[in-house]
Structure 1
Amino acid sequence: MKRKEYIWAYLFVAAPILGFMLFALIPLSYSVYVSFTDYSGYTAPVFNGGDNYVKLVKDELFWKTLLNTVIFLFAKVLR
């Protein structure tokens, strides 16, 4: 009887874990991988290290967008 209970317990626990892996962990991991590559969607990804992040830090539009996001966040919190 105890073994049957363990099997049911594992089945009930497995569903949320598989759902988390399928819909959150795997896409997040792939996004991190792709962020370190030069990937257009049509060709194979080519690893370029942190060049994408260096370009991001040097981009003026990124900083403006980040500032707007922070202002919006504080406006929502203080409202």
Structure 2
Amino acid sequence: MPINYSALCETIGPNQPFMYRLRTALTAIAFWLAIALPVFYLPLLVLGLEASTLLIAFLVLFAGHVLALVGGKEYHRSTD
């Protein structure tokens, strides 16, 4: 599905304050990270979490996923 750049520019165009545009961008990034990060759970779980480094990697991944879920919960993409 192609991106409607004109609608995107109207939503976060140059007339919007910088902090609003930054927040919108970070929310979008967090949303898509929340979707993509679970892909990395399976390899860690298949390898097992007995090793301390794998357990730490899993916990960091889990914490990052929770942060991404919280940060991206307000994201909405316009569907014109």
Same topology, TM > 0.5: no
More helix per residue = 1
Larger Rg: 1
Give TM-score scaled by structure 1 length: 0.36
**Normalization by structure 2: what TM-score?**
0.36
Higher relative contact order (CA 8 A, sep 6+): 2
